[in-house]
Chains A and B, each alone.
Chain A
Amino acid sequence: MSTAVKLDMMPSKDISDYAEKVLLNNPFENFKIENYKYAQLHKSITSNVSLDEFKADLSSISSVKNIKLSDTSDIDLLSDLNKWNFNNADSYFRVNSILERSSKKIDLDLFREEIVCLDLSLFKENIHLLKASDSPKTLMINNSNLSEDCARSIILNLSENAKLNIIHYNISNSKSFLYFEINQQNNSNIKFLSFQSNNIHTRNEFFASLEENCSLDLYGLNIHNYGVNDNYSFIQHMKPSSQSREVFKSIVKSGAITNFQGKIYVDSIAQKTDGYQMSRSLILDNESKANNKPELEIYADDVKCSHGSTVSKLNQDQVYYFKSRGIDEEQAIKILQKAFLVETLEAIENTQIKEYSYSLLDSRL
């Protein structure tokens, strides 16, 4: 179905006008769109790269509730398409996915298991997740072996006082384009890790909106991808006294490109905001690239916001030090790479999943 036909079928003119406006800037065709600046979505880059045998095998984790289609119910995201609450940052992915896919709703509080797994290969739909209780829960999102041409949305709504730990395994996809939206009500708390490896062309968008007294920890671990691996985040503080902390670490080699674009936005009423963002990349060879664009946009004065960004190679003095203690270079490089990345794995609360993630990382070094 053509876009024009789809726009005609929209529930209201306001919605179709909004959709039309956003779709005008299609990053799959136009490479000059600022928010997709480094993602190279207009290019087809999957053809001359083949993926490694590296896989995420989540079946080794026990007592997991795997979400089935029957656990979900339909939800209409289309009629709220134009109810967008992020300031000056429209997401093409969001509009694209809501137009192209139907959507399913999942209430995480209905499962008694502590660990819930959402395997994206079992769904074609956008997923809308709800969490209202403060009981501890870990959501694993298995985002593996996909090859998709259009984006999909994963929307998370956390009610007041709700807590959630999320591990996103973004592994071995040839093409995957995800839009995450996190809406946090007062006093809610999220820890989110996105573990990314062995992908050819991926982009993950993380849009988060924080009300009062929330905390959001968003971590990215990005190691040995091919092609272009692109992360985009937009954290908006809309009420006072919330805290956000972002750490994205990337190691890139073999001609791959790793990108991080992230913005902390602080509304004029969001006093006492504490925002922190760190993006660090290691480049292992001259064929590879790292691009970072960490942004601050701040309209409140009583805030503490900072960002840092570094791009460098492995510290050769450290490698030398290891060798002088009899550790061979290959081993030294492995240890140093791991040391660079592990901070992000600390976002995982469940010991079983944490151990699994450590071993997954070890097998990739």
Chain B
Amino acid sequence: MLKINNLHVSIEGKQIIKGLSLSINKGEVHALMGPNGSGKSTLSYVLSGKEGYEIEEGTIEYNGKNLLDLEVDERANAGLFLAFQYPMEIPGVQTSFFLKTAINSKRKFLGMPEIDALEFAKLIKSQAEDLGIGSEMLKRDLNVNYSGGEKKKQEILQMSILKPDMAILDETDSGLDIDALRIVSEGVNKLRSEQNSFLVITHYQRLLNYIKPDFVHIIADGRIVKSGDFSLALELEEKGYEDISKTA
């Protein structure tokens, strides 16, 4: 589904990703772990197409297509979803209106008619309830004055209604208390299937207790230094990044 090969990325002349390769197949959950500044978030922005990142070398293939040829919205409509570490506040735009606009953008892309009001209401209600998002929150401006936990739940809500093929969760666990972490993880697990894949970016092993990955990769200084299964995450928790990077 996603094939990253020998990726080199720089920002304003400074190299951040230095030869990263990673393959994710349909139905797999990969965890990417690494210390601050190792290039985790950069990777998520490069995958989703944010401007300001210079791809110096390497390729990214997504469902057989060159991902780098696609605009941000084209990638999104092709099923790539990024749950932001810091979701944007958009004043004046009601959350439910935003959700509807996003759904209709995808439907338009797929040549489907706009979602009917009733269907939309039903869809949102069921998904929002599971995440503990009340109808009052859906009336508020998108992410404006949301708590950290509410913002992350909002990201997961968007993910569950847009049903991506490839979801990237960028430090979704940061700033969450244990209850919110559980709710958010359940939301992710519900979406897991043979048809879609996840790239879970995190600093801590904590999240992986809830979202069990098939593979764990450790990133340091812009490249993957070690890969393994879930036990690697446990090992990391025990030894810390420095040790693991050394043994790698």
A–B direct contact (CB < 8 Å): no
